[in-house]
Chains A and B, each alone.
Chain A
């Protein structure tokens, strides 16, 4: 069965510093990859997704993620974080024809 690992449960970082949130998944079969963000007491919102094509995908608010098939990874990065990026981030994979599998989440805390 597919599984998703997010090794860091919490990541504190100072404002304007770069950040990387790591995501690895278990299977090398064809999957679609997603990052979701959750602000306190809200549902999940899609941040970015990889379906096919270029392995580097970007969001409108400066995040990017790179699909690495050989390492089965989909790490999320931002070169300079803001206080407003404080949230919980979930990596998810979806093999075609199967259900989504979510990682346990990484809580990003941006410090002033």
Chain B
């Protein structure tokens, strides 16, 4: 089974701190994604990556950055955490070949609280 693992289930950070959220997948997927989930807003795409060292902005990239130095690892960075970044963060990976498309596999989520 594909496994997507996020390093923390729950995090509490102070305003202004630099926060790292780590995500690792074990199925050699090219594509990796970071979403945030807020009540009533569904999933919103922050950043995504289709390859190592490659990154693309999603719908709400402000206040975030990412790093993908290895294929299996995709890190989300909050440069200076703010209270409006309190949310559930979900990492996902997927594999897309020219012959078809495969679903996204999600990690268990990190619930971040910024105080």
Q: Interface of A with B (CB < 8 Å)?
A: 9, 32, 34, 36, 41-46, 49, 51, 90, 92, 94, 96-97, 99-100, 102-105
Contacts and interface: CB of A to CB of B under 8 A. Distances in A.
Contact of B45 (A34, A36, A99, A103): A99
B11 interface: no
A8 to B, nearest CB: 13
A45 B106 contact: yes
A108 to B, nearest CB: 15
Contacts of A105: 42
A46 B42 contact: no
Interface of B: 4, 9, 33, 35, 40-43, 45, 48, 58, 90, 92, 94, 96, 100-101, 103-109, 111
Contacts of A94: 101
10 contacts: A41-B111, A43-B90, A43-B106, A43-B109, A46-B104, A94-B101, A97-B96, A99-B33, A104-B40, A104-B41
Contacts of A36: 106
Given A103-B42, A104-B40, A104-B42, A96 B101 contact: yes
A29 B14 CA distance: 45
Contacts of B108: 42-43
